[in-house]
């Protein structure tokens, strides 16, 4: 063991350098934080931002071969500290080396050329101004084997990238940011949002490659968006991450993530990484003891100090996390979770400036949920200012904010955002029986072009009741909540969701068609449904749900700009997607206080424990058999043909919407798309009845001839076959179109 002594009178002799900043935002500075292994020397440089008024900071290093280090606090250190007595810190069992870190000013501490190799473990020991000892992991940890344990030195050169053409921009399938264009290069983007733990029984990056194969073979999506893999206690959603640079080791760790991304690139898929800048998870968060990173508690965990005292380094820390994902993991885009909840538009502006400077091809997507405020995606670049001047301007604006001024930071500069207004309206018009919201449909189609169009994400599934669209539709179709027991409407809704999920499983089962009414009555009674729903009614409702799911997809895919769907929606997957997670004290709390599980069940309607919930969420867990055995293949063909239509028609990619027509009598909405070389009409029927070769509308374009190029009700997609595919003579005087309930058709101008 080495014991390294500190100069006496630490508290009295420490230099005050607040007026002489040593931190400059150059690229080398961005990548210098944390533990940086230098292969040429075999040594490691350590750099930490901690409390500016700390008396001393140490880094403790242990070889992984020295045995299990256990919890971050279960190996004590002996400490002698005082203003006049000096300070010595040593490990109690002589198994580690402890090195003093040099105070560089403004809370920056360094220790260079330390004997620490890849996978060696380390942690920081902070002696506060009050002589308290904080023993913490690294907020910049690039490898964290356990959320409550020591950080690990990471060799960034350990993985050799294979698909270099993709990284060098030579592969034409790569979607790159183009800020000079209206849609910024994202017009062809079709995203499948995925959650690594639920793509396979194993829940790892390696096992998820089989899903990548499926996505690439289907050719519907050209991008995957990976829900956060920031380090958490368990396999889960990922939105409780506390190690913002470290990949969840239970999924495979950082090199396995690189291999997964490289694999996806090789299959022609763009990769978007989801990261969480708005809060820390409630478990394993040591930032409060590390430095002035935290400003208080929020609903989901600690909120971050982006605008308070010493905020500059906290903003830089999160900005560097975004740069880390872009550079180290070679992602093509980054999605930022609930940006409005960061509490700082200055942070958002800084992130976009830094990424656009250092990774100009990487596109940025916000989830703002603030009614599509224009400044999120407006892009105004002051070309007369240098990059450093732009960043320093942000610092100056926060200084004014702290003095009581109310400066305006301007636009955030993100390339796109999740369009929650679009999603809410689309869900309402599709799910609510008899709703006539055509004007709202027109509005969302007009306003969403550069934003991400989607019907469902993880939030709308897991945060509600864990069921996907078809069970949700069954609940609405039969108003099932009205026929369930429950102490309040929320409980009735949860019970209806569970019953609907079981009904969907029954409908697609092998023996459903032959089930007797007596047996069906018994099953529905056991599910708590206080009315009888016949077999024919269930079949018709399920078919109606499939038609509505295709209509939802069709509306998104026929509106220019980027689109997204959730994993399995392309095949009408029926697996749950629940909000599942587990914390380090979850099981102890359950044992000590059984009422805690009741609180979870009352809130969500299901148990969120990882080992209980995750198995229900594995994709493709429920197999389609019996009369609906062909449904997944039909839905895949539908979505694949629609995606191919998108690839081959410029009007669907980035055309201009030049006309709308709303037929309130028939619940039909029409929009016209025009590009330089084609014109398309998209006719969407939200009504419940069939229209057989008789539909006409007043606003049909004059003096032009049209043909049908797509119909969601075609038999090959599982529809009834109400199509107009043989007609090439459709005019305003000779319309007489066929429309199925909850369907859409696409007409192309042929003259």
Quick one: pLDDT at residue 679?
Answer: 96
The first and second tokens of residue 317, run together, are 């820390």
Give residue-wise pLDDT tens across range 546-568.
999 999 999 999 999 999 999 99
The first and second tokens of residue 226, run together, are 């990976």
For residue 629, count other CB atoms closer than 10 A to its CB.
Answer: 12
| CATH architecture of the region 5-152 | Sandwich (2.60)
Instruction: Tell whether the model's pLDDT for residue 367 goes beyond 60.
Output: yes
Contact status, residue 154 vs residue 118, Cβ threshold 8 Å? yes
The first and second tokens of residue 631, run together, are 């449904």
Same fold flag, 5-152 and 649-749: yes
For residue 20, count other CB atoms closer than 10 A to its CB.
Answer: 9
- Please provide the average confidence, as pLDDT, over all residues in the chain: 90
Q: Given pLDDT bands bounded at 50, 70 and 90, which one contains residue 228?
A: very high
Instruction: Give me the mean pLDDT over the 371-396 stretch.
Output: 89
Distance CA 144, CA 733 (A): 69
Instruction: Tell whether the model's pLDDT for residue 136 goes beyond 80.
Output: yes
Tell which CATH classification among 3.20.20.80, 3.10.450.50, 3.90.1150.10, 3.30.70.380 matches the domain 164-177+189-418.
3.20.20.80
| Residue of 102, 97, 94, 91 whose CA lies nearest to 46 | 102
> What is the SS3 assignment for 442?
helix
Instruction: Give me the mean pLDDT over the 573-584 stretch.
Output: 90
Quick one: pLDDT at residue 701?
Answer: 94
| DSSP E strand stretches across 165-260 | 190-194, 223-226, 230-231, 243-247
Residue keyed to tokens 């990424």: 355
Class of domain 649-749: mainly beta
Give residue-wise pLDDT tens across range 282-340.
888 999 999 999 999 988 889 999 999 999 999 999 999 999 999 999 999 999 999 99
Domain boundaries, the chain: 5-152, 164-177+189-418, 467-562+573-628, 649-749
Instruction: Tell whether the model's pLDDT for residue 458 goes beyond 80.
Output: yes
Contact status, residue 54 vs residue 87, Cβ threshold 8 Å? no
Burial class (CB in 10 A: 0-12, 13-18, 19+), 502: middle
Give residue-wise pLDDT tens across range 529-551.
999 999 999 999 999 999 999 99
The first and second tokens of residue 403, run together, are 């003095």
SS (H, E, C) 621-632: CCCCCHHHCCHH
Contact status, residue 65 vs residue 57, Cβ threshold 8 Å? no
Instruction: Tell whether the model's pLDDT for residue 10 goes beyond 50.
Output: no
Q: Which residues fall within 8 angstroms of residue 352, CB to CB, at 6 or more apart?
A: 364, 412, 413, 414
**Which secondary structure element, helix H or strand E, spans residue 275, and what is its range?**
strand 270-275
What is the DSSP secondary-structure string of 670-709?
EEEEE-SS-EEEEEEE--SS-EEEEE--TTPPSS--EEEE
Instruction: Give me the mean pLDDT over the 423-449 stretch.
Output: 88
Give residue-wise pLDDT tens across range 239-256.
999 999 999 999 999 999
Contact status, residue 142 vs residue 154, Cβ threshold 8 Å? yes
Contact status, residue 246 vs residue 254, Cβ threshold 8 Å? yes
Cα 224 to Cα 136, 331, 334, 467, distances in angstroms: 35, 10, 11, 21
Instruction: Tell whether the model's pLDDT for residue 493 goes beyond 60.
Output: yes
Quick one: pLDDT at residue 605?
Answer: 81
Instruction: Tell whether the model's pLDDT for residue 113 goes beyond 90.
Output: yes
Q: Which residues fall within 8 angstroms of residue 258, CB to CB, at 6 or more apart?
A: 159, 161, 328, 329, 330
| DSSP E strand stretches across 101-241 | 102-105, 108-114, 121-127, 133-136, 151-152, 190-194, 223-226, 230-231
Q: Given pLDDT bands bounded at 50, 70 and 90, which one contains residue 402?
A: confident
The first and second tokens of residue 83, run together, are 């203003």
Distance CA 313, CA 292 (A): 9
Give residue-wise pLDDT tens across range 28-77.
899 999 999 999 999 999 999 999 999 999 999 998 655 554 555 555 55
Residue keyed to tokens 């900071």: 57
Which residues on neighbouring strands pair with residue 389, listed in sequence order? none
How open is the CA angle 267-326-266, to the nearest 5 degrees?
10
Give residue-wise pLDDT tens across range 627-644.
999 999 999 999 999 999
Quick one: pLDDT at residue 300?
Answer: 83
Instruction: Tell whether the model's pLDDT for residue 416 goes beyond 60.
Output: yes
For residue 694, count other CB atoms closer than 10 A to its CB.
Answer: 11
Instruction: Give me the mean pLDDT over the 2-17 stretch.
Output: 34
Q: What percent of the chain has pLDDT over 70?
A: 92
Give residue-wise pLDDT tens across range 674-731.
999 999 999 999 999 999 999 999 999 999 999 999 999 999 999 999 999 888 999 9
Instruction: Give me the mean pLDDT over the 736-747 stretch.
Output: 96
Quick one: pLDDT at residue 403?
Answer: 85
Distance CA 269, CA 222 (A): 5
């Amino acid at each position: 063991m080495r014991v390294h002594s500190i100069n006496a009178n630490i508290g009295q002799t420490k230099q005050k350098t607040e007026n002489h900043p040593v931190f400059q935002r150059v690229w080398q500075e961005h990548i210098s934080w944390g533990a940086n292994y230098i292969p040429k020397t075999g040594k490691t440089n350590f750099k930490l931002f901690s409390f500016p008024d700390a008396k001393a900071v140490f880094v403790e290093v242990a070889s992984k071969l020295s045995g299990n280090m256990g919890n971050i606090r279960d190996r004590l250190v002996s400490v002698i500290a005082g203003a006049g007595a000096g300070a010595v810190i040593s490990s109690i069992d002589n198994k580690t080396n402890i090195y003093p870190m040099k105070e560089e000013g403004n809370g920056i501490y360094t220790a260079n050329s330390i004997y620490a190799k890849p996978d060696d473990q380390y942690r920081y020991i902070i002696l506060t101004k009050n002589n308290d000892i904080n023993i913490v992991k690294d907020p910049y940890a690039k490898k964290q084997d356990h959320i409550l344990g020591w950080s690990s030195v990471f060799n960034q050169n350990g993985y050799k990238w294979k698909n270099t053409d993709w990284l060098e921009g030579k592969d034409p399938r790569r979607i790159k940011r183009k800020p000079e264009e209206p849609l910024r290069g994202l017009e062809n983007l079709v995203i499948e949002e995925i959650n690594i733990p639920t793509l396979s029984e194993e829940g790892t990056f390696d096992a998820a490659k089989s899903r990548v194969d499926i996505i690439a073979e289907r050719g519907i999506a050209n991008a995957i968006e990976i829900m956060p893999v920031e380090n958490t206690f368990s396999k889960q959603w990922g939105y409780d991450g506390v190690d913002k640079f470290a990949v969840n080791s239970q999924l495979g760790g950082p090199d396995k993530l690189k291999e997964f991304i490289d694999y996806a690139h090789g299959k022609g898929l763009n990769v978007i990484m989801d990261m969480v800048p708005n809060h820390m998870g409630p478990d394993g968060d040591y930032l409060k003891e590390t430095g002035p990173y935290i400003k208080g508690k929020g609903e989901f965990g600690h909120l971050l100090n982006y605008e308070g005292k010493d905020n500059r380094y906290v903003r830089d820390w999160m900005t560097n996390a975004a740069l880390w994902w872009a550079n180290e993991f070679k992602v093509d885009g980054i999605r930022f979770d609930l940006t409005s909840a960061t509490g700082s538009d200055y942070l958002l502006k800084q992130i976009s400036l830094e990424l656009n400077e250092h990774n100009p091809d990487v596109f940025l997507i916000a989830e703002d949920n603030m009614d599509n405020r224009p400044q999120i995606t407006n892009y105004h670049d002051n070309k007369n200012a240098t990059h450093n001047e732009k960043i320093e301007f942000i610092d100056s604006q926060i200084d004014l904010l702290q003095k009581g001024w109310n400066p305006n930071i301007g636009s955030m500069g993100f390339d796109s955002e999740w369009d929650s207004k679009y999603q809410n309206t689309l869900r309402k018009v599709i799910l609510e029986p008899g709703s006539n919201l055509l004007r709202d449909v027109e509005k969302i189609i007009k306003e969403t072009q550069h934003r991400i169009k989607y019907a469902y994400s993880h939030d709308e599934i897991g945060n509600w009741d864990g069921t996907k669209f078809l069970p949700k539709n069954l609940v609405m179709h039969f108003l099932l909540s009205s026929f369930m027991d429950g102490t309040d409407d929320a409980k009735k809704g949860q019970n209806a969701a569970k019953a609907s999920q079981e009904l969907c499983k029954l409908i697609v089962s092998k023996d459903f068609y032959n089930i007797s009414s007596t047996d069906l009555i018994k099953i529905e009674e056991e599910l708590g449904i206080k009315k009888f729903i016949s077999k024919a009614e269930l079949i018709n409702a399920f078919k109606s749900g499939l038609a509505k799911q295709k209509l939802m997809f069709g509306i998104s895919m026929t509106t220019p700009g980027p689109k997204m769907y959730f994993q399995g929606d392309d095949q009408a997957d029926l697996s749950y997607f629940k909000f599942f997670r587990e914390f380090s004290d979850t099981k102890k709390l359950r044992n000590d206080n059984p009422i805690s599980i009741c609180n979870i069940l009352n809130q969500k309607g299901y148990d969120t424990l990882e080992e209980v919930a995750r198995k229900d969420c594995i994709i493709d867990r429920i197999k389609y058999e019996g009369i609906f055995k062909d449904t997944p293949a039909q839905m895949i063909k539908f979505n694949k043909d629609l995606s191919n239509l998108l690839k081959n028609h410029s009007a669907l990619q980035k055309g201009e919407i030049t006309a709308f027509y709303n037929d309130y009598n028939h619940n039909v909405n029409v929009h016209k798309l025009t590009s330089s070389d084609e014109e398309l009409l998209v006719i969407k029927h939200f009504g419940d009845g069939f229209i057989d070769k008789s539909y006409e509308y007043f606003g049909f374009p004059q003096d032009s001839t049209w043909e049908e190029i797509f119909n969601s009700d075609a038999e090959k997609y599982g529809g009834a076959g109400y199509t107009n595919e043989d007609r090439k003579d459709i005019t305003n005087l000779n319309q007489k179109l066929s429309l199925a309930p909850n369907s859409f058709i696409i007409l192309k101008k042929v003259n």
